[in-house]
Amino acid sequence: MGEDKKVSIAVIGAGGVGRCFLQQCSQILPQYPNVSLVFISRSSRSLRVPTWNHVLSLDTWEQDLAASTDPALSPQELLDWFGTTENEIILVDNTSSQDIAAFYPDFLKDKITVVTPNKKAFSSEIDLWRRIVDNAYPNDPDGGFLYHEASVGAGLPIISTLKDLLETGDEVQKIEGVFSGTMSFLFNNFAPAEGKGGKWSDEVTKAKDAGFTEPDPRDDLNGVDVARKLVILARMVGLQIESTSAFPVQSLIPTELENCSSGDEFMEKLPGFDDEMEKVKTQAEGRGKVVRFVGSIDVAKKAVEVGVKEFDKGHAIAGLKGSDNIISFYTKRYGSNPLIVQGAGAGGEVTAMGVSADLIKAIKDCHGWKKVR
């Protein structure tokens, strides 16, 4: 199993997913006596151990961080600080920061393991993605380990399933599914397989009130979040996708509302465009189908697209409930009966679970594996 090593964990991002992650760490880390929490930061402040022999408290971290007067560290300052210990370092980035993502190659090159749900690291410019992958183990035998299960599908095993398929020699032919909990909730209620469904603007309002959308729902309705996830998976199967603008992404924002000054103004004016979405739903119903917002990757055709698509009511995608995600992997081995992963694809707890599961793998890979029985 290798020599037990001291492993130090640094966490960037302590709100939302980060808070849920740290709560889960209070159950995980006591099982690994060689592993300690040494750093927590949010946008304006940070909390770190005075020496590498100290440990931050998982019971009082919120109060301790709130009381701290230390500013947040830049990625370079954090890297410099990591250089003052011989401990193995695991950096957990719970943010969506492009600046931090841009520093992943440097962390990995310095043998620092990175665990993150940050989609931007793997879906922005392809040069950054290449440098991240090239500097991570095993492409660089001396590089840090890299885990990003929660960058697609929150806690669902999407990334790991695809890696297993590829690494065992299967040929992935197509990936298709509902990749957004927000879009799933909207369409499952707007165009249910059974029943009538509500008005589009009413369903958007319900989703917003339930916390399924961003404060400005346009950030969900523009399709970019789904497109980022498709870029990540497409690159994993070998497609050299430059960015989310390299393929068709359907936006559900009416052109007339794109320049609304706020999310509130957008929501106020959205009912005036209900007829457009109602027409889409009614036309599908006339063909015995329902509409869903999906993403698909056709590997042979090198085609990626995101948008509204019709499905027979008996199709697995048509039968989704709530805010579930569903991703189908069509491969040579599985033939016409795809491997399907389905479940909650959004929410702080399940996203944090994906990050926590990656952390456990990282601890074992860094040889901090000795567990308390």
Task: Name residue 311's amino acid.
Answer: F
Catalytic residue among 229, 281, 289, 309: 229
Tell me if 165 sits within 8 A of 275, measured CB to CB.
Answer: no
Tell me if 10 sits within 8 A of 89, measured CB to CB.
Answer: yes
Q: Quick one: three-class SS letters along the chain?
A: CCCCCCEEEEEECCCCHHHHHHHHHHHHHHHCCCEEEEEEECCCCEEECCCCCCCCCCCCHHHHHHHCCCCCCCHHHHHHHHCCCCCEEEEEECCCCHHHHCCHHHHHHCCCEEECCCCHHHHCCHHHHHHHHHHCCCCCCCCCCEECHHHCCCCCCHHHHHHHHHHCCCCEEEEEEECCHHHHHHHHHHCCCCCCCCCHHHHHHHHHHCCCCCCCCHHHHCCHHHHHHHHHHHHHCCCCCCCHHHCCECCCCCHHHCCCCCHHHHHHHHHHHHHHHHHHHHHHHHCCEEEEEEEEEECCCCEEEEEEEEEECCCCCCCCCCCEEEEEEEECCCCCCCEEEEEECCCHHHHHHHHHHHHHHHHHHCCCCCCCC
Query: Has 269 been annotated as catalytic?
Result: no
- Whole-angstrom Cα distance, residue 121 to residue 33? 31
Q: Which residue has the tokens 């719970």?
A: 94
> Taking each helix axis from N to C terminus, what angle separates 200-209 and 181-190, rounded to the nearest 10 degrees?
140
Going from the C-alpha of 62 to that of each of 31, 46, 107, the distances in angstroms are 22, 11, 26
Cα radius of gyration (the chain): 22
Which residues form the catalytic set? 229
